[in-house]
Amino acid sequence: MSSIIKSSKVLEVKGDSLIKKIDNKEEKVLLEKAKEKYDEIVKIANKEAENIIRSGYEEKKIILDKVSEEAKKSFEQWKQKGHEEGLKLGYDEGYMKGYEEGRKDSNILIDEALEIKEHYIKEKEKIYREVEEDIIKLVIEISEKVIYDKVDQDKEYIVSVVLKGIDSLNTTESLIVRVSKEDYKIVEMSKNKILAKASLVNDLEVKLDNNLNKGDCIIETSKGNVDVSIDYQIEKVQELLNNILHSE
């Protein structure tokens, strides 16, 4: 049995721009909608992050004020105690003891303030990570909707899928194209059109495959089978976007 080679060249994608090439109006609408939602999500995330940072700063300030007040209070208490003890043990010894106790209390409160600061920084990073994941899901959902709507509305869309699949092979041999029952008639009728555009292909045979769904297409070559189905292309986009997200 021939091996099936998965082709990801039909929907061209690039990491820094997500989708490298915009071929039609529907795909432009897709990216515009995704960008609008992206901007909306990022705006909300920034606002939430700013609120968290502001809250963390205010809480930190309260704690630091408390540190200062407690340190001052502790210092005065131990200073007084040191003064009283100084009557018996000497003022310097009592003073230093009060100072050390006050410094110890202050350090405890400062450590608490730093822990709160670290907590809010982690919360901010978590929000941005969740926003990125939401954007990935959004782009994939919009992509699927636009592409599947296109397949349903444009009966010849499968022909462009076949052509792009053949173009990715760069072969001069005869090919067999297997498509679903729903797409068979239009592909068979467009065979001469496909051969005219795929100038390197000598011959093309179209076969109906009941195991395939609408939009699916497998091209058979002497070296193996190439899957250029729409479902597979969407799967590759999803995989790429997830890789981009988790590689950061």
What is the rounded distance in angstroms from the CA atom of residue 68 to the CA atom of residue 133?
Answer: 42
User: Whole-model pTM?
Assistant: 0.47
What is the rounded distance in angstroms from the CA atom of residue 79 to the CA atom of residue 73?
Answer: 10
pLDDT at 199: 75
Structure tokens at 239: 């995989």
Helix segments in the chain, DSSP class H:
25-86, 91-153, 157-167, 181-189, 191-197, 230-247
What is the rounded distance in angstroms from the CA atom of residue 83 to the CA atom of residue 69?
Answer: 21
What is the rounded distance in angstroms from the CA atom of residue 116 to the CA atom of residue 39?
Answer: 30
Q: Give the end-to-end CA distance of the chain in Å, rounded to a whole number.
A: 40
The angle formed by the CA atoms of residues 161, 163 and 164, to the nearest 5 degrees, is 65
Q: Collapse the DSSP code of 19 into the 3-class scheme (helix H, G, I; strand E, B; otherwise coil) and give the result.
A: coil
* Strand order across the beta sheet in which 217-221 lies: 4-6, 224-227, 217-221, 175-179, 204-208
Structure tokens at 91: 């003022």
What is the rounded distance in angstroms from the CA atom of residue 245 to the CA atom of residue 135?
Answer: 10
pLDDT (tens place) for every residue of the chain, 248 residues total: 445 545 444 443 333 444 444 444 555 555 565 556 556 665 665 566 566 556 655 665 565 566 556 655 655 665 565 555 554 544 455 555 555 655 565 566 666 666 776 776 777 677 666 767 777 777 777 767 777 777 777 778 888 888 888 887 776 678 899 999 999 999 999 998 888 888 778 888 999 999 998 888 999 888 778 888 888 777 777 777 777 666 65
Count of residues in the chain: 248
- Report DSSP state, residue 225: E
Structure tokens at 236: 């590759």
With tokens 């082709």, the residue in question is 7
Q: Are 97 and 120 in contact (CB under 8 A)?
A: no
pLDDT at 9: 45
- Report DSSP state, residue 56: H
What is the rounded distance in angstroms from the CA atom of residue 67 to the CA atom of residue 29?
Answer: 56
